[in-house]
Chain A
Amino acid sequence: NAGVTQTPKFRILKIGQSMTLQCTQDMNHNYMYWYRQDPGMGLKLIYYSVGAGITDKGEVPNGYNVSRSTTEDFPLRLELAAPSQTSVYFCASTSGQSEQYFGPGTRLTVT
């Protein structure tokens, strides 16, 4: 039982490039989330999903897209990367009956 896994751990992007952050959970959780954490700040919700095929925007969705084709996977797509997207990204999941479980995070730098 690996919990929530994220790849890559680190990435440097040039302005205008695109990339996908991968997230997988093996706990059969319906609910999955993407957060970003800027330096010295708490976590802000980007997108979430309540089950396969269903996604919705969180607090800070601009510049991002998601998909949820399976229960296990919830990739986050960055299109046309901008310096403002430099952050640490966390994926999380929950069954809804207890806490959210977090992945180890991806540190992204856009230069």
Chain B
Amino acid sequence: AQTVTQSQPEMSVQEAETVTLSCTYDTSESNYYLFWYKQPPSRQMILVIRQEAYKQQNATENRFSVNFQKAAKSFSLKISDSQLGDTAMYFCAFMDRYSGAGSYQLTFGKGTKLSVIP
């Protein structure tokens, strides 16, 4: 079974600064997806960024980028130029690409609560 670990329960960052959220995972699979989801106070789960394990290039979406280290099973999220609207819970998640006995299930970490300070 896959596990996802987020070791930082809470973090804070000054507005306009950069912050990095950590995530490690454990799996025996070689082909999978990794995701970062954002959950603001509205509770809506919003996809921030996606990484396919077979792609060596780190994914980037505007101010959000990842550092994907496949051998180390590490998947950190960097938020540049932090904005007040980035205040939210951030969840790292793993999804096996092959259905097999599973069904593209997501395994979530426990989350990191990020506060952006004005």
Contact = CB atoms under 8 A, between A and B. Distances in A.
Interface of A: 31, 33, 40-43, 45, 48, 50, 56, 58, 88, 90, 92, 94, 96, 98-100, 102, 104-105, 107
A103 to B, nearest CB: 9
Instruction: Assign chain B's interface to a size class.
Output: 20 to 34
B50 A98 contact: yes
B33 interface: yes
Contacts of B106: 33, 43, 45, 92, 100
Contacts of A88: 43
A90 B45 CA distance: 9
Given A99-B33, A102-B44, A105-B44, A43 B108 contact: yes
A86 B17 CA distance: 38
B25 to A, nearest CB: 13
A92 B44 CA distance: 11
Contact of A99 (B44, B47, B108): B47
Contact of A42 (B33, B47, B111): B111
Interface in B42-64: 42-45, 47, 50
Given A42-B110, A50-B99, A98-B50, A58 B44 contact: no
